Structure 1
């Protein structure tokens, strides 16, 4: 049985978080960890995807909790390793985007993440598997994947929703929709797609409320599909995502729930369909997305409620 007294925690720190600036917080974080007598060891990543294998190795090293110290990208990697190893995931948020842990009741203050290691309780949440990668919050394909690709090279000095917004505007100047075949729970449809987002979290991109009806205790993932609506209509629609008012634009946006989605690009068109999860690229081409109910154990504040926010969708 898990209790705060028997938690042995492997903390995985990404020193590249916030362009390396987050490292300045490390002494204060470790000071608080020691003050409240957390049993932990700290490890630093040295390359992309390091955190996946480091988290996966934690079980054989004797740890029963793996903790992400970074932003959503670090949480994505640590979460993937935790799922594969069957370990409990926790997070101390210090990134520019902390949507996932925010959805779990930690408001973005690293102090709350540290306290949660001592006082939190384990809950099971639903997740999504896309090809060979897990998404612990929200994944998307289409222009969102192109934005994730562009963010690796451009506007590195800008973070959060401002960066996402600027890259969206820049990419829309030459953007064309993606001809795909969508198979949703066995039902096929050929369409021109701008973006499809799926998951059990509600927000991504530092506060974009793309799946307002999602819950981490649902069996089916929430899905938002933005169709081919033209560049200018897309630009008018984009700001509404922050307030979840895009769900009212039923002519252009489809909101559903599903257990399985297969996205197959039309190979006769010379356009790469990219997928990303928690800001991390994971695929180019065909994507199979599967809901996994109660697929992950997470450490959450005791008063956290699965139903803390609600927008009704079909």
Structure 2
């Protein structure tokens, strides 16, 4: 869909995105946006929550909110926009850009601005985990601890940062026991990790839910059952390309709701943002067509 109207534009830029790379790119990005949208309002975040709060303030208008940052900043903005009328545009300059790959937006500010100007819109689905929305994916178990480790890494970005964090996490991680409820069935099992995907990839390029689509009104769920260290090392390369679905240790299905619980707490992240580690029960729902987003997806892939 292509919308034409005289809408107000807002740029939310996170200078801390990409381990400070965004701060260096800020002059270029603001200049490109100012030239493309002369009346644009500019907002620079200073602390966590700022992007969400500003997005919420303008969400009721039929404006375009452009976020310049990575998956974490996009996550905040999405949580501010849900329930409103604004459209999301993205200039990817963060360390994790899994979501923009789905939208076919390159990590090139000039090209990203051109895509925003092209004004192709899509009503996309969004996931909801208890009271938190996620645009790309939710991870439970191993990959939540990978996020913890990745936040300690100062010398790498993107895929290499996540890969380094995986091997650090493997030194101390143990499988966990959870209860899973879906479609009226409740069962306990030992798992290595669970991924609930609205998008195809997480962790800088791991295609854990390769069949997911952001507009199919379904969540894709990938469960890795309890794994030995040797199995983990054997299967990580397969998950990079989405070639793990045939493995006997993997269960893959689609649903609009799943409930996961554990008396010991559920280590979780939403779009790479850690949730409190003491949550014992999470209900994950699919909210169809919850967000209007500007994209560059080829027509044959929609």
- TM-score normalised over the length of structure 2: 0.93
How many angstroms apart in 2 are the aligned matches of 1:292 and 1:258? 12
2:58 match: secondary structure: coil
How many angstroms apart in 2 are the aligned matches of 1:24 and 1:275? 31
Change (3 A) 1:194 1:245: same
Matches within 5 A, 1:157-236: 157-236=155-234
**Is this contact kept in 1: 2:9–2:37, CA < 8 A?**
no
2:40 corresponds to 1:40:
yes
Shift of 1:283: 3.8
**Is this contact kept in 1: 2:244–2:250, CA < 8 A?**
yes
Shift of 1:2: 7.7
2:33 corresponds to 1:64:
no
Change (3 A) 1:131 1:138: same
What residue is the counterpart of 2:268 in the other structure?
275
Cα deviations by residue, 1:129-154 (Å, 9 ceiling, x for unpaired): 001111101111111111222333x2
What residue is the counterpart of 1:156 in the other structure?
154
2:102 corresponds to 1:109:
no
Matches within 5 A, 1:16-35: 16-35=16-35
**Is this contact kept in 2: 1:127–1:199, CA < 8 A?**
no
**Is this contact kept in 2: 1:137–1:199, CA < 8 A?**
yes
Shift of 1:282: 2.3
Shifted more, 70-79 versus 80-89: the winner is 80-89
Name stretches of at least 5 consecutive residues in structure 2 with no aligned partner.
none
What residue is the counterpart of 1:304 in the other structure?
298
Name stretches of at least 5 consecutive residues in structure 1 with no aligned partner.
309-314
**Is this contact kept in 1: 2:66–2:88, CA < 8 A?**
yes
What residue is the counterpart of 1:288 in the other structure?
283
How many angstroms apart in 2 are the aligned matches of 1:118 and 1:99? 22
Shift of 1:42: 1.2
Shift of 1:38: 4.7
Shift of 1:199: 2.1
Cα deviations by residue, 1:262-291 (Å, 9 ceiling, x for unpaired): 1111x2xxx542111111012432211001
Change (3 A) 1:225 1:9: same
Shift of 1:4: 4.7
How many angstroms apart in 2 are the aligned matches of 1:21 and 1:165? 20
How many angstroms apart in 2 are the aligned matches of 1:3 and 1:245? 38
Shift of 1:246: 1.0
Shift of 1:254: 0.8
How many angstroms apart in 1 are the aligned matches of 2:290 and 2:44? 26
Moved over 3 A (4+): 1-5, 303-306
Shift of 1:96: 1.7
**Is this contact kept in 2: 1:130–1:290, CA < 8 A?**
yes
2:95 match: secondary structure: coil
**Is this contact kept in 2: 1:175–1:231, CA < 8 A?**
no
Q: CA RMSD in A?
A: 1.9
How many angstroms apart in 2 are the aligned matches of 1:220 and 1:63? 26
**Is this contact kept in 1: 2:89–2:294, CA < 8 A?**
yes
